[in-house]
Each structure stands twice: as C-alpha cells, then as structure tokens.
Amino acid sequence: MIAATLAIMMLRDYQAAADLLWRDIYHDRNGHYDFGLILSLALRELNPIDFLAQVERSRVWGPFHGLVLSIVQLAGGPDYRLAIVPSLIGWTVTVIFSALIARRFFDDPAQRAFAAIVAATLVMASPAFRLLGSDVMLEGLGAALSAAGLWAWIVAREDLQSTRRWRWLAIVLTLLFFHKGNYWGLLVAALIAVWLLDDGRKLLLLIRGAFSHVTTSRALAALIRDPLLLAFAVVALAVILITLRGPTVIAVFGKPVSVYPPGNLLTVAYALLFVRLAIVWRRHRAVIDPVLGVPGRQILFWHIAPVAISFLLPKRLSTFLWFVGPSNSGAGPSYSLIDGIDLYWGSFSAGFSSAPWVAVLALVLFAVAVLSLRRFPRQTWVVFVFAGISLLSVLIHPQRQGRFLGSWIFAVWIGAGVGAGMLLGLLLPLRMQILRWGAATAVTAVLVVALVRQPPSAKAFDYAIRMVTGPSNLDLVRPALPDIRSARTIGMAATFGSSPLLHWMAQEDCKCRKEFAAFDPGAVTSRGGVRDAALDYFARSRAERIVVVDAQSDKLALNVLGWDYDKLAGILDAAQVQQRYVRIAEYPVPSYGARVSVWALKP
C-alpha cells in the first residue's frame, strides 16, 4: 500500500511538470517512448502487420517495455504524461517482491516482518532508484522482473513437483529475456550457479552416462552421415572465417554482396542446429521427459523454447550476442578496476542511498546475512549469488555508468533486510516477543520517516542520468506541430544531430502513425561535409514535410561524434540552396535562442 501510494505521488509530481523530464535530446527515453507509442498507434489503427513488424525490429532492446507502455497508451490515450507508468509499475513491484523475498528467510513472525519492512524501506528510500522508477527507462521493469524471478526460484525449489510454480519461473525468465538480454543473463547465471551447488553432481553423472559410449570416431561418423549437422558445421566454419577475416564482399550473379558481419549466416547455422535438436527431442521425448522432470519440462516449454524460436528471426541472434558481448563496450584505453570500484561505490553511497551512512549500514547488514548463510534454506542463497555476480559483472565490464546498479541493487537491500532480521533474533530472544515487535515497529517508523520522502540529491540525479536545469527539449519541436499534422511522412534536420524526439511528438500530436527519416550526420569532420550530406538528404528524402531546427547550445552538443554547432550548421547551408523543398513557416524558440522552420515538398 505504501509503495503504491508513493508511486501515485511520483506520477503526480511528474505530471505537474512533465516537460522538464525531457531535457536530454540524446537520452534513451526518447527511443523507448517512441517505440511504445508506435505499438499503441498500430493497435489503435487495427494494423497487426505494422504491430508485429515493429516488435520484430526490437532487437537491441527487447519489446516488453514497449508492449507494457503500449497498453498504458491504449487505455489512457497517446500522452507523454503517462510515459513513466511502466517504470512506476516496475518500481512498485520491486518493492513488493523485495519484501516477499526477505520474509521467506525466517519462520518467526517478528523477524519476517522486520526483514521485509527494512528491505522494502531501503528500496523505497533510494533516490536514484526512485528517479529511474519515474523515468522512461528499462531499469524499473528490469528490477521488477529480476526480483520476481528470484522469488519464483525460491518458491519453486520448495516444491519440485509443482507445475504451476516452475511454469511461473519460466514465464518470468522469458519476459525478462524479451525485456533486456543482459538483465536476463545476470539472473540466469545466478540461478545456474545455485542449481549447480545443489545438483551439479547429478548433472555430471548424467552427462557421463550419456556420453559414456561416444568416441571421437563415432562422433565424426555420425556428423558425416547427418546432412543437417554437416551443413551446420560448414556454415558455422564460414561464419568463423568471415568474422576473423573482416569486411568481405562476394559476387552473386555479377553483383557485389557484403557478407560481413555474418549475422544472417549465423542465423542459418543456428536454424540448422535448431532443427536437428528438435528432431532428436521428438524422437526421444519418451526418454528425455522423465529425465527433465517437472522443473526441466516447464523451463524447456515456457522459457527455452520461446527464446530459441526467437533466434530464428533474421539477425536476432547476432544482435543479442553483440549486445551482451565485449564488442558492446564503448571502452577507452583507461580501463581500471579501481576506477570501477570508485564509480560504483560513489553511485551506491551518494546516488542509490539517501546518505552515505545508509549505504554503510546496508552493507553491514548484508554482511551479517552472508555470515549467517548456513542458517537459511539453500534456495534463498540465490539472492546473495545474484548480487555477487551482478557486482562482478558491472565491475569488469568496460562500459560503466552509475545507473547500471539499477536493475539488481535491490538484492543488496534484501540482504540488508535479512541481516536486520538476524540481528533482531540475536539481540532479542524468542521469548521476548513483545520487545521484538516493539523494536521492529520503532526502527521501521524511524526508517520510513527519515528516508522515504527525502528529496534526491544532485548526485542522485547525475547517477540516474537526469538533467535538472535548462529548458525542455519539447520547446524545439512544439511550434512546428500544426504544420506537419497532416503529413504522413516527415523528416528532421537539426544542428544538434539526430533524435526520435520529433517522431514521437508528431505522432502523439496527430494520434496517427507517421513515417520518419531524420538526417543523421554520422561521423562529422567539417561543415562542408555536413552540407554535402544534407544536400543528399534533401535530394533523396520522401518526406512531405521536413522540420529544420537551428539551435546553438552547449547542452545540445555531442562532442564524441563531432556534433557541434559550427559543423552541423552545414545543414542550414544545404537548406538554403536545395531545390526540392520550400520553407512554409518559421518560428522562434526563445528558451533556446533557436529557430525552427518547416519545409514542404514542392508539387
């Protein structure tokens, strides 16, 4: 009830000044909101083909957040003031499951209640987590699904014959995979690690038995006789060779065709292996099913199968491997583990904790829980393994941002709640139940009053990547909306680069789907180069209207790509000399000292 009330208050606070959230022109929130809005409009227009096509294109970021947002938009109408609702749902669900998980460590009612309340309070009191939970970002639902997955594992391991419990775990894992692959990877790694602690020996014996009669010569003979496996080996070898070789072009019917990167070939190789394994399972299902048992069958049917089938879609497997692999690092030469520890301690103590002493207290309580690990059921150990694997992963990954704690740090707060419950039991024996309840109530009241409604600090905004000063980006587009409302195809060329901002604002304004093609400056080297690229954009564009934004602001520059005003002003040069479009309107944007103009395609 408290979490839901706080979520409603957070929504109210956002809606009171909704424009101010949209301050960072390059922020991922623009893309996340644009995707959810597109899905909702496709549903509104009863266009299932467009809907499914958009879902299929969601390769880097999974479609789950967009699907939830589309349902919200379908119910409440296209309205950016509802954009944070999925994250608020995720924030609330994370609080609830954190409390439920902490409760399952104890049998004593007072300890159960105290552990749950401390864990939930630390989640609710986190400034940076609250900011991420009231943004259009993936951390909120990611944390919620991860927490739900931990809880589902704990209750499923309590009853290995419960089809319902294991199916619930499998469904949660599937939703998490289709939300964001790296969040899924962290949880699955923790579940596998804990499972191996319990059943690793059984698995090893099973593998030994299965391969006891297999020799190298028999395996090679089977490979040569099996056309599917042979084809898989050939295509897989081609993928490896092309990857090692680099950019490769081959001639097909006299036309050059690039086969690098070999994403489609990888899908072909995977499809061949998938079909072969499906045949094996179908032929030997009577033997395989009893070995899998209830847990294995539910995980196979409700998690592994949907994920495996999704990889049959073009480029989805290669995109997934790129996203979770080292290639997606953005790392510079200054990688340092010490720097990573310093960054994430600062993020935890100054961003995700309302004060440094709260961070220290949480870690001390977490340590108490770790030292008491043998007192707890084995299935609950997954919370600590998940926290450890997640911490190690963010530390060793070259790409670092303080917000990367957002999807898993709740596990530390659960551990802190468990540690608090342990201390309550150690300091006040079971026969002192009245004192236990009194102490739990007093500490809870202090925590809630002192922490939960404390406003976020400037550091918390920084770690949550939330700008707190400057005008809203919506000002840059809003004046042009009436002039592009009737256009089905629109474009945008701006002296700050490329952003989905215009697309979602134009679609929300007309409550209709619009084709959109923004001018992408790419790697900028000079104003003349931008001018030539922009001239080509105007010459090739199919847009009925193009919005040109002339805005000079340091907050709009993206120096890592060379996107600064002096170079991107080449767009303005191109607009003046191109011959396909005519300017039909121009408006000042006082908040930015900018001008926005609308250009119409000549008849």
Burial class of residue 321 in the structure, from the number of CB atoms within 10 Å of its CB (0-12 exposed, 13-18 middle, 19+ buried):
middle
b/e code 155-169 from CB counts within 10 Å (16+ = b): bbbeeeebeebbbbb
d(C-alpha 143, C-alpha 289), whole Å: 33
Residue 563 host element (H or E)? none
> 518 forms bridges with which residues in the sheet?
492
> Which pLDDT score is estimated for 552?
86
d(C-alpha 263, C-alpha 246), whole Å: 13
> Which pLDDT score is estimated for 262?
84
Burial class of residue 287 in the structure, from the number of CB atoms within 10 Å of its CB (0-12 exposed, 13-18 middle, 19+ buried):
exposed
Write the single-letter amino acid at 311: F
d(C-alpha 302, C-alpha 292), whole Å: 14
Which residues of the chain are under the pLDDT cut of 50?
Answer: 331, 333
Residue 595 host element (H or E)? strand 594-601
Cis ω before 127 (30° cut-off from 0): no
> 450 forms bridges with which residues in the sheet?
none
Q: Are the CB atoms for 464 and 135 separated by under 8 Å?
A: yes
d(C-alpha 316, C-alpha 554), whole Å: 37
d(C-alpha 83, C-alpha 385), whole Å: 33
CA-based angle 285:288:292, to the nearest 5? 130
b/e code 384-400 from CB counts within 10 Å (16+ = b): bbbbebbbeebeebeeb
> Which pLDDT score is estimated for 436?
59
DSSP string for 389-406: HHHHHHHHSS---GGGGT
> Which pLDDT score is estimated for 335?
66
CA-based angle 603:583:511, to the nearest 5? 80
d(C-alpha 523, C-alpha 529), whole Å: 10
d(C-alpha 82, C-alpha 32), whole Å: 13
Q: Which residue has the tokens 């004060």?
A: 355
pTM given for the model: 0.91
Longest CA–CA span in the chain (Å) reads 88
Residues with Cβ within 8 Å of 387's Cβ and at least 6 positions away in sequence, in order, are: 366, 408, 411, 412, 415
379-427 pLDDT, tens digit per residue, is 999 999 999 999 999 998 888 899 999 999 999 999 999 999 999 888 7
